[in-house]
Amino acid sequence: MSSHERLKKVEELNQKLLILKEQKRRLDAEAGELAEKRSRLNSESKRLKNEAIELKKLRDAANAEVKKLKEQKAQIRMEIAQKVKELKSLQSEIKSLTARKPSKSASTLQKEIEAVEWKIQTTPLSLQEEKQLVEKVKQLEAQLNIHRRIEQLSLKRLELTAELKALEARVKSINEKIMSEAGKSQAIHEEMIKKLEEAKKLKAEAESVHRLFLQVKEKTSPIKEEMERIVEEIRRQKEEIALAEAEERRKSEESLLENIAKQALEKLKRGEKLTWEEFRILAEKGLA
């Protein structure tokens, strides 16, 4: 192949290389966009997962609070049950004492006791009379004690009733808190699930983009190989051209030297004087 043909070949290869470079540039740009999109999707997916983790902590905290409140409510329910039991016992005792309650009022009985005691203290009495009056005081005090016991139990019943109302109010308040925390937990849970689903969706999309990225890279590989082959071929052709040009220069120089030597020999034959360059060339050729 002549140097001209090789130069033409190199030009064709350069044109082909330019086309391949443009193809590779477009594919690299597409791969870059896909890689950027993949990275963005993965980053967004990770962000949503982290947010879901934080929401899970909040949900678990709300659930723990609900559990704690339920335990408090159960404890209060036990207190209520105990106080209801006490109240029923009081009511039963009050009912029993009420059935035995004297017809006279407590104040009347108190006055009678005081009157009898005054009589015992101020009036001369026989032993029998004094014993009768002391026995009467005992009877009156027994009746008065029924009044006093009913009053004590009634006060205790009022206290227990007030305590029960306070406990029921606490149960109501705790129930409201439980409903509030449970509602908060449910809302947080739903938001957490929503974020996890979105993160899963973005992750799947990122994987799909990654597959496209790999496909583009696969298209790039043969182009790179072809470009490398062409570059190598261009280099080889240029080397061949350089060798051919060097050979051509050598032949040209050889021809020039032959002509100079021929002219120098003719000058010798004519007895003419040689230049130093002509003498050197003849010497190199072994003709001097």
One DSSP character per residue, 224-258 reads HHHHHHHHHHHHHHHHHHHHHHHHHHHHHHHHHHH
Cα dist from 39 to 132, 204, 209, 210, 212, whole Å: 109, 13, 10, 9, 13
d(CA 52, CA 46): 10
What is the pLDDT tens value at each position of the chain, 288 positions in all?
666 677 787 888 889 999 999 999 999 999 999 999 999 999 999 999 999 999 999 999 999 999 999 999 999 999 999 999 999 999 999 898 888 888 888 898 889 888 888 988 888 878 888 888 888 889 888 888 888 988 999 999 999 999 999 999 999 999 999 999 999 999 999 999 999 999 999 999 999 999 999 999 999 999 999 999 999 988 988 888 888 878 788 888 888 777 877 887 777 777 777 788 877 777 776 765
In this structure, what are the phi and psi dihedrals at residue 270, rounded to the nearest 5 degrees?
Answer: -85, -5
d(CA 151, CA 127): 36
d(CA 115, CA 120): 9
Domain ranges of the chain: 3-266
Please, what is the Cα angle at 80 between 77 and 81, to 5 degrees?
85
pLDDT digits (tens, 9 = 90+) for 163-175: 999 999 999 999 9
Question: What DSSP line would sit under 33-76, residue for residue?
Answer: HHHHHHHHHHHHHHHHHHHHHHHHHHHHHHHHHHHHHHHHHHHH
Residues 185, 63 contacting (CB under 8 angstroms): yes
Residues 193, 49 contacting (CB under 8 angstroms): no
d(CA 119, CA 78): 55
- Kindly report the number of other CB atoms within 10 A of residue 202's CB atom: 20
Say which residue the tokens 């032949």 belong to: 251
pLDDT of residue 253: 80
d(CA 187, CA 184): 5
